[in-house]
Structure 1
Amino acid sequence: MRLGYDLEGNTYWEFKDNLNANRFRRIVEYSRKTHFSDVNVPPQWMQWLRHTRYEPPSIADQKAEVYRQERMKVLAAQADARWAAKPSALDAPDKQQPVQMLQSQDPSSGIRQMNVDQEAIDNHAAEEKDTAADAGAPTLKTRKRMRTEPKDSPWKQAPKNPGDEWQPAQWSPGPAKRT
């Protein structure tokens, strides 16, 4: 017995099952113009086929579902546009707003609030001061190493691995034996 059809031209059937008389068998017959790889069964009809929905969906239900899906696409596009308009934390630093430093309540602490331009000027002045001070500084060859390993280092006292100096012996095959 034919029960209904969907908006894509598929027809849905229900009949008594020969093996189990208490249960009806439900099937779908696809439209002739549809290739088997292009078959698309709407979710409402899939629920009916799997006996999770008692009544088959009406044409009005199917049209309302199509309208709901189209409306969701429009709302999703609007949400994407709103999301894209907001600045991201992953944007390049030059596109972000400058972060203001906190100002200390104690004027003698040396911490003061500054904007980005003032910070750049202060950094440039500090670099010039460092280059002037480095003019009389010792060269790289005359400087002493800053860190030296202590004489009683536990790493020097650690036992060596027995295979640290092992190297494979040279091997060349002998003449082949004839049998």
Structure 2
Amino acid sequence: MPRMTLSDRVKGKVAMGAKMGASTVLTPEDEISLVNYIEYMAQRGFLLSVSQAIGFALCIAKEHPGARVFNESGPTEKWWRGFEKRQPEISLRRPDPLDRGRAAMGNVETMRDYLKLLKSTIETNDLKDKPERLHNCDEAGLSLNKSSGQRVVVPNRFKHAHSIR
């Protein structure tokens, strides 16, 4: 351990548990705001890419004139890696495409109505004891997503990273 580090500690220049190094450009409150926005967008199926999140970080930094700022090119990948370490509640994942139609139909009330209609149709057409006459078809085998496979930022508590298209 460097002698000056011990000297600073003994003289009380450095508090116990204090973080060393330069302060971050965004305040902790600003970083929490960015995480909250990432979560807000994810809840609505609009997942942000890293470059979009970095763009929002730059916008937030510009809201504080006179504060420490990013360099001319804005936040870098290095800044992003530090942000990820400071905010363990977010992670990068590949998005699972979810069609808008399926997203709209994926709520409890819509499913309940569908099952009531299905039951009524089966009873009306006397198909209750004839399962061989019931067929199912969906688009599971069709790939309609032309995304580049770019990873997106998602809160860790989300089980799936659905990206509505």
Classify the TM-score, shorter chain: under 0.3
What's the TM-score, normalizing by structure 1? 0.18
Larger C-alpha radius of gyration, 1 or 2?
1
What's the TM-score, normalizing by structure 2? 0.19
Of structures 1 and 2, the one scoring higher in RCO (CA 8 A, sep 6+) is 2
